[in-house]
Amino acid sequence: MDGTVASKPANAVLKLNNVSRRFGITEALRDVSLAIVPGEIICLVGQSGCGKSSLLRIIAGVDTPDSGVLLLKDEEIAGPKRFVEPEARNIGFVFQDYALFPHLTAEQNVLFGLKGLPKKVARARAAEMIDRVGLYPLMKRYPHMLSGGEQQRVALARALAPSPSILLMDEPFSSLDRGLREKVRDETLALLRALGTTVIMVTHDPEEALSAGDRIVLMRKGEIVQTGTGYDLHDRPNCRYAADFFCAFNKVPGTYRDGKIETAIGNFGCEATLADGSAAIAYIRPQAISVSQENGDIPGRVTGRLFLGEVEQLTVQVEGLSEPLLVRTMVRLPAPTNTIRLTIGLESVLAFSAH
Domain co-membership, 175 together with 301: no
Domain membership of residue 125 (yes or no) is no
Question: Where residue 238 sits, what CATH number does that domain have?
Answer: 3.40.50.300
312 and 343 co-located in one domain: yes
297 contacts 341 by C-beta, under 8 angstroms: yes
**Is 172 in the same domain as 276?**
no
Query: What local confidence, expressed as pLDDT, does residue 231 receive?
Result: 95
Q: Let me know whether 61 and 200 are in one domain.
A: yes
Task: Give the domain extent around 277.
Answer: 248-353
Are residues 221 and 262 located together in one domain of the fold? Answer: no
The pLDDT assigned to 8 comes to 58
Write down which residue in 218, 243, 268 finishes a domain.
243
Helices (H), the chain: 52-60, 106-111, 119-132, 148-160, 178-195, 206-212, 230-235, 240-246
- 212 burial class (0-12, 13-18, 19+ CB within 10 angstroms)? buried
| pLDDT for position 219 | 96
111 inside domain: no
Q: What is the pLDDT of residue 336?
A: 80
Dihedral of the alpha carbons of 17, 22, 25, 26, in degrees to the nearest 10: -80
Contact 318, 298 (CB under 8 A): yes
* Residues of the chain below pLDDT 50: 1-7
Q: pLDDT digits over 53-63, tens only?
A: 999 999 999 99
pLDDT of residue 10: 65
First to last CA, the chain: 18
pLDDT of residue 4: 41
**310 in any annotated domain:** yes
Look at the chain and report how many structural domains it folds into. Answer: 2
CA 257 to CA 153: how far, in whole Å?
55
Round to whole Å and give the CA distance between 335 and 280: 36
Q: Which of 173, 354, 194 is nearest to 261 (CA)?
A: 354
Q: In which order are the strands placed within the sheet that holds 298-307?
A: 289-292, 339-344, 298-307, 312-317, 325-329
How confident is the model at residue 5, as a pLDDT? 41
3-state secondary structure 212-225: HCCEEEEEECCEEE
C-alpha gyration radius of the chain: 24
- Domain boundary among the residues 210, 243, 276 is at 243
Residue 34, pLDDT score: 97
Same domain? For 271 and 319 the reply is: yes
Note whether 62 and 16 are same-domain residues.
Answer: yes
Q: Are 336 and 300 in contact (CB under 8 A)?
A: no
Whole-angstrom distance, CA of residue 11 vs CA of residue 247: 34
Tell me whether residue 19 is in a domain: yes
Of 210, 225, 243, the position where a domain reaches its end is 243
Residues 256 and 222 in one domain: no
* Residue 304 counted as domain residue: yes
Q: What is the pLDDT of residues 177-200, one digit of tens each?
A: 877 888 889 999 999 999 999 999
Residue 335 pLDDT:
77
Q: Note whether 11 and 186 are within 8 A (CB).
A: no
Is 346 within a domain? yes
Look at residue 137 and tell me if it is in a domain: no
Separation of alpha carbons 329 and 286, rounded Å: 8
Burial 157-170 (b: 16+ CB within 10 A, else e): bbbbbbebbbbbbb
| In contact, 76 and 83? CB cutoff 8 Å | no
CA–CA dist 224, 242 (Å, integer): 11
Are 34 and 77 contained in the same domain?
Answer: yes
Q: How many residues does the chain have?
A: 355
Q: Is residue 98 part of a domain?
A: no
Q: Are residues 233 and 324 both part of a single domain?
A: no
Q: Are 190 and 330 in the same domain?
A: no
Q: Are residues 287 and 313 in the same domain?
A: yes
SS3 261: strand
Report the CATH number at residue 309: 2.40.50.140
